[in-house]
Structure 1
Amino acid sequence: MKLTILGGGGFRVPLVYGALLTDRAEGRVTEVVLHDLDDSRLYAVARVLNEQAAVVPDAPRVTATTDLDEALRGADFIFSAIRVGGLEGRAHDERVALAEGVLGQETVGAGGIAYGLRTVPVAVDIARRVARLAPDAWVINFTNPAGLVTEAMSRHLGDRVIGICDSPVGLGRRIARVLGADPKQAWIDYVGLNHLGWVRGLRVAGRDELPRLLADADLLGSFEEGKLFGVDWLQALGAIPNEYLHYYYFNREAVRAYQQVEKTRGAFLADQQARFYEEMKRPDAAALTAWDRTRAEREATYMAENRETAGAGERDADDLSGGYEKVALALMRAIARDERTTLILNVRNQGTLSVLDADAVIEVPCLVDANGAHPVAVAPLPDHATGLVCAVKGVEREVLAAAESGSRTTAVKAFALHPLVDSVNVARKLVEGYTDVHPGLAYLR
């Protein structure tokens, strides 16, 4: 089976390959094609993969190419993990927003809109090429903003594109762990949009254990989300929010913390990864060791500003192991081998949430089999969550409209309607600031 990874020079690709190396069953991936526009990054990542494969008999063969059409032809699965504008673009997204006093995070608020505006046209082009060159392939979208980009691609690929994220998986794992339950045996009642969802229940052997957690202040305050959001707020919500909702519930504090740091997250990662890729130019460098060291630092500093604001301390060691590559492997196995499973995924709504139309991409538990991912019926959201979900989905639709039409006015509307952008004038300044620094937004007129 052939797997193509778009953004194959990306830093996290070895996580995916590492997951593939654990799969020895019949029908596994035997060929991996890395595609990237930067051949030096492809070379660096290929070196890491070669060292990973050195101790695994019959590891999947790895090739690399800068030719997109060549990479797509004959693929059974396609991972889309592109970053339009690179980490330098992410750093620009953060700085322009923070200069206007609003959040610049890459998937939430102004930064997420800017990232989406320059990513959607590229993702749509990829979707059209897949439809033409590999119509039977399944596309698994890692590209952020994951829900928005998946919806853009679904307009050309239908249900053959599925978005994934490791945030709900990590959240469910932490809740199960603190309750003494096996995450593999727990049913997680999770619903929302990508980076905008809530766990409303966790069932083990048919019993919802979440009320027990919410009633125990000591237990509730003992894990990441309890430390991040505070026990009182979680008890008031009656649910456990995705960690990215910290940007909404504590927006002023988050913006202030990000304005005070010496380097934004994007700038930190840009510098950190530049050192890694530079080191990979040395023929004698230990590629896998360098990558492991860099990844450990990356994971340990994840959402550091939010945790500092909340007094949450350092991340637990169990939360430093990633997870999205495991979701991707489970998804591929379920489709390729009809190994039926349940995963939290980004898929078209199809009536699951009555407040959104059928084509809106949402993030919910799905039953997965050889025919793809099928969203499971969920209870309606409470009013406060419905308001946020509808508002953010409305913004996503304006981003898609702006990307399709090239309308600068529609782009301003997308920024202005976001709950974390508090002024039409600020929205106009954001569009001016982003078009000044991003050549990829030159299409906005």
Structure 2
Amino acid sequence: MRLAVVGGGSTYTPELIDGFARLRDTLPVRELVLIDPAEDRLELVAGLARRIFAKQGHEATVTATSDLDAGIEGADAVLLQLRVGGQAARQRDETWPLECDCVGQETTGAGGLAKALRTVPVVLDIAERVRRTNPDAWIIDFTNPVGIVTRALLRAGHKAVGLCNMAITLQRKFAKLLDVAPAEIHLDHVGLNHLTWELGVRLGGPGGVDVLPRLLEEHADGFALELRMPRQVLETLGVFPSYYLRYYYAHDETVRELHTKPSRAEEVAAMERELLEMYGDPALQEKPALLGRRGGAYYSEAAVALAAALLGTADADEPSAGRALGEGRTGGAPNVQVVNLRNDGTLPFLPDDAVIEAPAEVGPQGLVPLAAPAVDPLQAGLITHVSAYEDLALDAALHGGRERVFKALLAHPLIGQYDLADGLTDRLLAHNREHLAWA
């Protein structure tokens, strides 16, 4: 099996390599191609990847190339984890919205729109080249904003699915609190990428007993501290919100905090410099502990599980594929994973072509979302609002134009005022002209 990783020079990549090495019985990779235009970074990461494989006795070859077409040729799956403009662009995304007292963040609000505008055309170009070279290959997108990027890929007819590590991280968290195997936990995970709620936490599969009320009662203080939300809010909601919901539920408070501390981009850039220095050490043969602070926890497990299911290498009776990886999966049961895919009626208040983040049965024939639980208007209203914004954001990314950017910003629930949208539009264009062919 040949896998290609576009953005293979990312400091995330050793996390992915570690998963490929540990879970080789689930996903038998024979050749891994790391593709990245930043050849200096790429060689450092590829060298560490080879050492990780060698230490764990994995026989796969690792190829590093800056030639996209050569790298994707013959690939069974192509993973996308790229960042157009690098950390410098992320730093700007997190900074200029604060000039208008709006959240500066790389996946939501004005900064998230800027990232979408830079990213969607690049990803679509890559996908077209994959389709020409190998139309049977699956495209697995980990590139943010995942929901908008996946919507672009699916609308263009590509064989694609979006992936985020949020659900698998929560699955592991709840399993640890309950002292059960992760595969015993099924999440009633509802929403859009980076806009999700756990409406239930079920033991034993989709029809299992909901233990979320128990978890909220026993661990409310810890959850509140982790999510940086008052315990009373969690008790009132009765669900477990993504930490991204703090941008919506406590916008002004969050903005005040962002004004007073270094950006996450600055922290990540410093971390990346240190990581790349580590990756260049020929004695390093495993992912360093520092990588855990970079983000992307359990990304490798989620990616391996998804690729294995899509490519048909996940044996339903194989414990490593079911009990260690799948959500609520036991021998012979469907392979259920949380992914970003077409709504197709799952959430009846959204259009069919909206992209939701939800549990789905995954296999070589594709993805089928599970029936969703009833969604309270408190969640459904915000999901509908943000989904409408994402539709306008995609229109702006595909067709350009100041007016389309303005409309997308005006539609976003974190903005929603014409004077703010106008000022943010000017700033977005000023900081991104080099990446926008139409600007």
TM-score scaled to structure 2, two decimals? Answer: 0.90
Could you tell me how far 1:175 is from its partner in structure 2? 2.8
Mapping 1:298-313, distance limit 5 Å:
298-299=294-295
Q: Deviations over 1:355-383 (max 9, x none)?
A: 11111110001111221221101023211
Structure 1 gaps, min length 5: 300-320
Cα gap change, 1:9 to 1:231, in 2 (>3 Å): same
Cα gap change, 1:375 to 1:26, in 2 (>3 Å): closer
Question: Equivalent residue for 1:265?
Answer: 264
In the alignment, is the contact (CA less than 8 A) between 1:351 and 1:357 conserved in 2? yes
Question: Equivalent residue for 1:327?
Answer: 302
Separation (CA, whole Å) in 2 of partners of 1:402 and 1:415: 10
Mapping 1:105-184, distance limit 5 Å:
105-158=105-158, 160-184=159-183
In the alignment, is the contact (CA less than 8 A) between 2:26 and 2:308 conserved in 1? no
Separation (CA, whole Å) in 2 of partners of 1:342 and 1:225: 30
Separation (CA, whole Å) in 2 of partners of 1:169 and 1:407: 38
Mapping 1:90-105, distance limit 5 Å:
90-105=90-105
Q: Secondary structure at the match of 1:33?
A: strand
Separation (CA, whole Å) in 1 of partners of 2:293 and 2:337: 28
Separation (CA, whole Å) in 2 of partners of 1:154 and 1:358: 12
- Indicate whether 1:358 and 2:352 are aligned: yes
Mapping 1:36-115, distance limit 5 Å:
36-115=36-115
Separation (CA, whole Å) in 2 of partners of 1:288 and 1:413: 49
Q: Secondary structure at the match of 1:436?
A: helix
In the alignment, is the contact (CA less than 8 A) between 1:176 and 1:202 conserved in 2? no
In the alignment, is the contact (CA less than 8 A) between 2:127 and 2:153 conserved in 1? yes
Separation (CA, whole Å) in 2 of partners of 1:235 and 1:126: 45
Could you tell me how far 1:213 is from its partner in structure 2? 2.6
Could you tell me how far 1:174 is from its partner in structure 2? 2.1
- Indicate whether 1:392 and 2:386 are aligned: yes
Match of 2:337 among 327, 343, 351: 343
In the alignment, is the contact (CA less than 8 A) between 1:193 and 1:362 conserved in 2? yes
Q: Secondary structure at the match of 1:189?
A: strand
Cα gap change, 1:389 to 1:35, in 2 (>3 Å): same
Cα gap change, 1:31 to 1:225, in 2 (>3 Å): farther
Question: Equivalent residue for 2:419?
Answer: 425
Q: Secondary structure at the match of 1:366?
A: strand
Q: Secondary structure at the match of 1:438?
A: helix
Separation (CA, whole Å) in 2 of partners of 1:355 and 1:129: 35
Separation (CA, whole Å) in 2 of partners of 1:222 and 1:409: 44
Could you tell me how far 1:243 is from its partner in structure 2? 1.4
Separation (CA, whole Å) in 1 of partners of 2:10 and 2:54: 21
Could you tell me how far 1:146 is from its partner in structure 2? 0.8
What's the C-alpha RMSD, in Å, of the aligned pairs?
2.1
In the alignment, is the contact (CA less than 8 A) between 2:275 and 2:291 conserved in 1? no
Question: Equivalent residue for 2:214?
Answer: 212
Could you tell me how far 1:254 is from its partner in structure 2? 1.1
Mapping 1:3-18, distance limit 5 Å:
3-18=3-18
Mapping 1:425-444, distance limit 5 Å:
425-444=419-438
In the alignment, is the contact (CA less than 8 A) between 1:51 and 1:288 conserved in 2? yes
Q: Deviations over 1:38-74 (max 9, x none)?
A: 1111111112112212212243210011111111111
Could you tell me how far 1:426 is from its partner in structure 2? 1.9
Question: Equivalent residue for 1:188?
Answer: 187
Cα gap change, 1:175 to 1:26, in 2 (>3 Å): closer
Cα gap change, 1:296 to 1:182, in 2 (>3 Å): closer
In the alignment, is the contact (CA less than 8 A) between 1:31 and 1:61 conserved in 2? yes
Query: What letter corresponds to residue 203 of structure 2 in structure 1?
Result: V
Query: What letter corresponds to residue 268 of structure 1 in structure 2?
Result: E
In the alignment, is the contact (CA less than 8 A) between 1:90 and 1:266 conserved in 2? yes
In the alignment, is the contact (CA less than 8 A) between 2:167 and 2:189 conserved in 1? yes
Identity among equivalent positions (%) equals 36
Separation (CA, whole Å) in 2 of partners of 1:203 and 1:270: 38
Could you tell me how far 1:164 is from its partner in structure 2? 0.8
Could you tell me how far 1:267 is from its partner in structure 2? 1.9
Could you tell me how far 1:418 is from its partner in structure 2? 0.6
In the alignment, is the contact (CA less than 8 A) between 2:224 and 2:231 conserved in 1? no
TM-score scaled to structure 1, two decimals? Answer: 0.88
Could you tell me how far 1:22 is from its partner in structure 2? 1.4
Cα gap change, 1:184 to 1:225, in 2 (>3 Å): farther
In the alignment, is the contact (CA less than 8 A) between 1:344 and 1:363 conserved in 2? yes
Question: Equivalent residue for 2:239?
Answer: 239
Question: Equivalent residue for 2:325?
Answer: none
Cα gap change, 1:193 to 1:368, in 2 (>3 Å): same
- Indicate whether 1:405 and 2:404 are aligned: no
Query: What letter corresponds to residue 163 of structure 1 in structure 2?
Result: G
Query: What letter corresponds to residue 333 of structure 1 in structure 2?
Result: A
Query: What letter corresponds to residue 122 of structure 1 in structure 2?
Result: V
Could you tell me how far 1:228 is from its partner in structure 2? 2.5
Could you tell me how far 1:296 is from its partner in structure 2? 4.1
Cα gap change, 1:376 to 1:253, in 2 (>3 Å): same
Separation (CA, whole Å) in 2 of partners of 1:102 and 1:171: 28
Cα gap change, 1:174 to 1:294, in 2 (>3 Å): closer
Could you tell me how far 1:335 is from its partner in structure 2? 2.1
Cα gap change, 1:428 to 1:278, in 2 (>3 Å): farther
- Indicate whether 1:203 and 2:197 are aligned: no
In the alignment, is the contact (CA less than 8 A) between 1:173 and 1:183 conserved in 2? yes
Separation (CA, whole Å) in 1 of partners of 2:130 and 2:416: 39
In the alignment, is the contact (CA less than 8 A) between 1:435 and 1:441 conserved in 2? no
Cα gap change, 1:338 to 1:272, in 2 (>3 Å): closer
Could you tell me how far 1:193 is from its partner in structure 2? 0.2
In the alignment, is the contact (CA less than 8 A) between 1:21 and 1:59 conserved in 2? no
Could you tell me how far 1:226 is from its partner in structure 2? 6.0
Could you tell me how far 1:26 is from its partner in structure 2? 7.6
Cα gap change, 1:15 to 1:135, in 2 (>3 Å): same
Query: What letter corresponds to residue 329 of structure 1 in structure 2?
Result: V
